Chain A
Amino acid sequence: MADGRDEVRQKSRTSNKYAAKKQATERIAAQRAAHQRAERRRNILIAGASTLAVLIVVGVIVGIGLSQKKKTSADSTPVPASDTVTSALSDAATSTLASTPDLSAVGNPPSLISGGAALTSPGGLPQVLYVGAEYCPNCAATRWPLALALARFGTFSDLSTMYSSEDNLPTLSFHGSSYTSQYLDFDGKEQVDGENKPLETLTAAESQLFETLGIGPGGSSPGYPFIDFGGKWRQNGTVFDPTVISGMTPESVAKAMTDSDSKVGKSIKASADVYTAIICELDGGKPANVCTAPGVTTAETAINGAGK
């Protein structure tokens, strides 16, 4: 009998112990579930906040872009080149001929066009075709040595100065300008303006050259700037590093052209000497004072070595 009561008490104690354990387990499970719910809420909050932060950052970047577009649109409007620019250009055309160019500054020299037909003007002069855009920073850099080289063979009038709407680089614009030379013809086309709106239309022949030869190495479509030197040589993209003229004004770049010690002067002179050497090849080495100048002969030797 006593044994029976002991057994019942034992079972009762075990049952109470089990109930307590079960209760504790349920409490732990409830706490764990609550903890997991809280963690999920926190994670969802983090995910939502991250998404919001990403959208805000993108919005801020786009906002900066839109505000800068409005701010720089005035600077990217071409204005007639100042006397400082035009006189510096004509001075540099002769003063820079004597010195030897630092051709290492020419990062992307022109390349030979294999089997290309000669590009000439209706009057039979060798023609230089330039296709660019006023927004384009690579064009901004390349116009300076091109203008300098051309100024050695002829005279520009009604040149404009401006800043490329992209990267805000000081430059010239060939739109609205004219060029006269007894040695060659220059056809400078700015296809679009600083806001990427159509500016000058290419003729069918120009367009065909641009579409076929305007694609640089590794490129998939024609790019700015494109220069065709008489159907013999072509320039795809910038000739020297455009960042060299970053932060300058058209006037300070023009002045720097005559300073062969400056990085800007070296880059523009070396590139201009290369262009000059090519034009000398096209027009039969005229005028002699230009085509036999040390800078030009050095560049000629270099490009012919590279071209062959």
Chain B
Amino acid sequence: MRAPRWAAPVALALTAAGLGVAIYLTIAHFDEHVSLVCSAKGAINCEKVTTSAQSHVFGIPVAVLGLAYFVFMIPWQLPVAWRSAHPFVRFGRALYCASGIVFVFYLVYAEAVLIKAICLWCTAVHVITLLLFVVTGFATALAQPHDAADGDEDPPDDLDELSQPNGGLHA
């Protein structure tokens, strides 16, 4: 499979950015000496969001879920994975990104409707997840099978043997 050249580096860069923000959010969640650099007043209020009831899903901190999401995103976005034509890799990667988007829907709903406050760092993770979804979606759509990319169509079975007589005619 020949994916666009930009696919792996762009997706990996986004994954690294998401991972960085997720690590920061996780550290701030568990280390009481680290607080998020973020407004605590008005509609933008990281503290309100990260201490809300919605900051845990099934008892697991959302920050930890985000961290796990980006850690497991890395193998999907490696160049070797982008070269693979295996359907599990192609569709698995797209489905994994789509699952992140579904979770982003819930988190945006939690922030906008339930908590009524926006956490900028969380929003950064949402935007990165969205960009990863878009990049992965378009790169998968633009990917070409190797044969089409190289132009080496499978020859008919007897083409090779036919080449000799043809050459002989003009010799």
A residues with a Cβ closer than 8 A to B are 11-12, 14-15, 17-18, 21-22, 24-25, 28-29, 32-33, 36, 40, 43-44, 46-48, 50-51, 54, 57-58, 61-62, 64-66, 68-69, 135, 137-138, 165-167, 192, 196-198, 215, 218-221, 223-224, 242
Which chain B residues border A12 with CB–CB below 8 Å? 169
| The one of A15, A137, A166, A198 that contacts B165, using a Cβ cutoff of 8 Å | A15
**Secondary structure of the A contact surface, majority rule:** helix
B51 contact from A50, A165, A219, Cβ within 8 A: A219
Bound Cα distance A57, B144 (Å): 30
> Are A25 and B159 neighbours in the complex by a CB distance under 8 Å?
yes
**B169/A47 in contact, CB under 8 A:** no
Interchain residue pairs A-B with the least CB separation, the first 3: A65-B112, A43-B141, A47-B137
A25 interface neighbour in B104, B112, B156, Cβ under 8 Å: B156
Given A28-B153, A61-B113, A68-B113, CB of A197 within 8 Å of CB of B42: yes
Say whether B77 faces chain A, with CB atoms less than 8 Å apart.
Answer: no
B41 close to A198 (CB less than 8 A): yes
Min CB gap A68→B, angstroms: 6
Please measure, in the bound complex, the distance between the C-alpha atom of A64 and the C-alpha atom of B133, giving whole angstroms.
24
B71 interface residue per 8 A CB criterion: no
Contacts of A54 in B (CB 8 A): 101, 130, 133
- Which of B143-171 touch A at CB < 8 Å? 144-145, 148, 153, 155-156, 158-159, 162-163, 165-166, 168-169
Q: Which of the listed residues B47, B53, B130, B133 has the most CB atoms from chain A within 10 Å of its own CB?
A: B53
Known: A44-B138, A44-B142, A51-B137. 9 other contacts (CB 8 A): A14-B162, A15-B165, A43-B142, A47-B140, A54-B133, A138-B53, A166-B116, A220-B36, A221-B28
Question: Does B105 make an interface contact (CB < 8 A)?
Answer: yes
Q: Among B105, B117, B169, which residue has its beta carbon within 8 angstroms of that of A11? A: B169
A252 shortest CB reach to chain B, Å: 22
Question: With an 8 A cutoff between CB atoms, is B93 at the interface?
Answer: no
List residues of chain A with CB within 8 A of the CB of B116.
Answer: 65, 68-69, 135, 165-166, 196
CB distance from B64 to the nearest CB of A (A): 11
| B16 contacts partner chain A, Cβ-Cβ < 8 Å | no
A42 to chain B, nearest CB (A): 8
CA gap between A22 and B155 in the complex, in Å: 9
Contact of A25 with B153 in the complex, beta carbons under 8 Å: yes
Interface size classification for chain B: 35 or more
Instruction: Tell me the B18-55 residues at the A interface (CB within 8 Å).
Output: 28-32, 34-36, 41-43, 45, 47-48, 50-53
State the Cβ distance, A159 to closest chain B Cβ, in Å: 24
How many contacts A-B (CB < 8 Å)? 131
Task: Give the secondary structure class of B's interface.
Answer: helix
Is B13 at the interface (CB under 8 A from chain A)? Answer: no
Chain B residues, Cβ within 8 Å of A224: 51
Contact B156 A24 (CB under 8 A): yes
B121, chain A: closest CB distance, angstroms:
12
Docked complex Cα distance between A116 and B134 (Å): 53
Task: Provide the bound-state CA to CA distance between A56 and B131, in Å.
Answer: 15
B137 to A196, Cβ gap below 8 A? Answer: no
User: Residue B114 at the A interface, CB < 8 A?
Assistant: yes
| A11-B142 contact given A61-B108, A167-B114, CB 8 Å threshold | no
Of A36, A62, A223, which one neighbours B112 at CB under 8 angstroms?
A62
